[in-house]
A and B are shown apart, each in its own frame.
Chain A
Amino acid sequence: MTVPDLAADLGRKCIDLLARLGHATLFFVDLARHMFASLRRPYLTVAQVHAIGNRSLIIIAASGAAVGLVLALQGHLILSRYGQAESLGLLVALSLVRELGPVLTALLYAGRAGTSLTAEIGLMKAGEQLVAMEMMAVDPRVRVLAPRFLAGMLAMPMLGAVFSAVGILASYVVGVLMIGVDEGQFWSQMQDGTDVIKDVGNGVIKTLVFGVATTFIALYVGYESKATPEGVALATTRTVVISSLTVLFLDFVLTALMFTTP
């Protein structure tokens, strides 16, 4: 391949990428606009919060517990070296509320709910259900996509809260009940050192942003998937990959904005 060929190829790929980003952005704006229209029928969104949120609850709670247990063990090991074992509650709470809660919830959400959204939309497309809806003069973006988008935005902060809460409780079981850290210190240090706005509030904002990003990616990839079995399979994989990378990247950006020392 000659240099001009390579340059042309690179140029084509860049244009292609920009076109896809532009298309996705327009889709996002469209979806955000239709989101308010779907509020007129809240039961559609409530059903989706149940489908997306409730069914992710067990995996989120179980993972939160596992992370809490490990954090308590590792945290105690390190803190006791410096005679600070009583700060275990604070360490666990800050780690979970600021970082691990939002990020791990989003990654699990992408794997559990995101893939199911993508597959559902992709299969609806493959079964001509979306075009049938269009032919009935019903906009699938209003009837199908917008309620799911809104539901994802609402479900993610709640799931993130469950993850962190269960994690803290699990660390209490290991730290206080099993290892013997002072219970009063465990809770009071956590209460003193955790700021409602700066720590909990920022954590909630993170889960909200991740919820928007992962749900949007899942819906967009599903809606744009090829209407074939391979197309849907590929779209499901793509959802996990793109969502995970986006969450990790966004987390870095948000952390840099929220938690850097002045």
Chain B
Amino acid sequence: MSQTQRTPVARADDVLVSIQDVTFGYDTRPVLSRVSLDFARGQLIAIMGSSGCGKTTLLRLIGGVITPQSGRILFSGATVDTADRAALYALRRRMGMLFQFGALFTDLSVYDNVAFPLREHTRLSEAMIRDIVLMKLDSVGLRGAAALGIAQISGGMARRVALARAVALDPEIIMYDEPFTGLDPIALGVTANLIRRLNDATGATSLIVSHDVEECFQICDYAYLMSGGRVIAHGHPEELKASEEPEVRQFIRGEPDGPVKFHYPAAPIAQELGVSP
């Protein structure tokens, strides 16, 4: 395990996504500062960290939704360039993204949501699209829900439909933004298993952004821990669990106080209440 240096996860030709010295911030608030990461092909990688530490920002940077202030991002050797729309869209066709709450199109049915990327990007016949959609829905266990509207399905089901949609075009990378948030224990187990199975069956690289330590460690091959806009640790789940570093320990064991303070910075409470001289 090392600190903030380039991660020696994979050989150069095995790297699918390479984040090189990237800095990003919203207005005056810095989110990522000089982060460098490499994600290897075919692996299931978890990026963990507390809320607001820049995890989701990382996914959006890879997808080219936002542009880094400095540094660059390579996807399969090609720079993710937000200025070149045609090239960016060509890259995005090779990516799948699962949004936190699914981001399904509410005016379309479950079936039409999964068919959407196929209809937009392929010239397949409706019969062929139907076969693919049903297979994708079957892989997430929701073939029977094809005709339902989005308002008729639960949050857990919506997440699975979104997953079927994200893998409709067989992407090289599947990015999951907080896939476990707000799920009941059964849905959570189902989703975690599904992510692992899809990763192994398709050979795609999977990138999970989450703060759910338990679930992530169960399924991931490699994990990064982020805090304050930088990577504080990375390694295999066992290595991270065994870490004695205070910040890593606090996060993994869920301790309320430690290097990450419980209290938001403020003046002493006695002074604020006017009870001390």
Contacts and interface: CB of A to CB of B under 8 A. Distances in A.
Contacts of B97: 132, 135
B120 A136 contact: yes
A260 B89 CA distance: 51
A138 B103 CA distance: 14
A16 B63 CA distance: 30
Contacts of B100: 128
Given A128-B101, A143-B120, A137 B106 contact: no
B203 interface: no
A136 B104 CA distance: 12
A135 B100 CA distance: 14
A133 B104 CA distance: 9
Interface in A126-140: 127-129, 131-139
Interface of A is mostly: helix
Chain A: number of interface residues, binned into ranges? 10 to 19
Given A129-B105, A131-B103, A137 B65 contact: no
Q: Which of A127, A135, A139 has most chain B Cβ within 10 Å?
A: A135
Given A127-B106, A143-B120, A135 B101 contact: no
Contact of A137 (B93, B104, B105): B93
Chain B: number of interface residues, binned into ranges? 20 to 34
Nearest to B97: A135
Interface in B81-137: 89-90, 92-93, 95, 97, 99-101, 103-106, 116-117, 120-121
B99 A136 contact: no
Contacts of B93: 137
A124 B120 CA distance: 18
Interface string A135-162: 1111100010000000000000000000
A137 B103 contact: no
A129 B106 contact: yes
A135 B120 contact: no
B99 A132 contact: yes
Nearest to B100: A128
Given A131-B103, A132-B99, A137 B116 contact: no
A129 B103 contact: yes
Nearest to A51: B107
A124 B105 CA distance: 8
Given A127-B101, A131-B65, A136 B106 contact: no
A91 B112 CA distance: 52
Interface string A97-132: 000000000000000000000000000100111011
Q: Which of B65, B99, B103, B104 has most chain A Cβ within 10 Å?
A: B103
Given A129-B103, A129-B106, A136 B65 contact: no
A138 B105 CA distance: 13
Contacts of B99: 128, 131-132
25 contacts: A124-B105, A127-B101, A127-B103, A127-B106, A128-B100, A128-B103, A129-B103, A129-B105, A129-B106, A131-B99, A131-B103, A132-B97, A133-B105, A134-B65, A135-B63, A135-B92, A135-B95, A136-B120, A137-B90, A137-B93, A138-B116, A138-B117, A138-B120, A138-B121, A143-B120
Interface of A: 124, 127-129, 131-139, 143
Give the 4 A-B CB pairs with smallest separation, nearest first. Answer: A132-B103, A128-B103, A137-B92, A137-B89
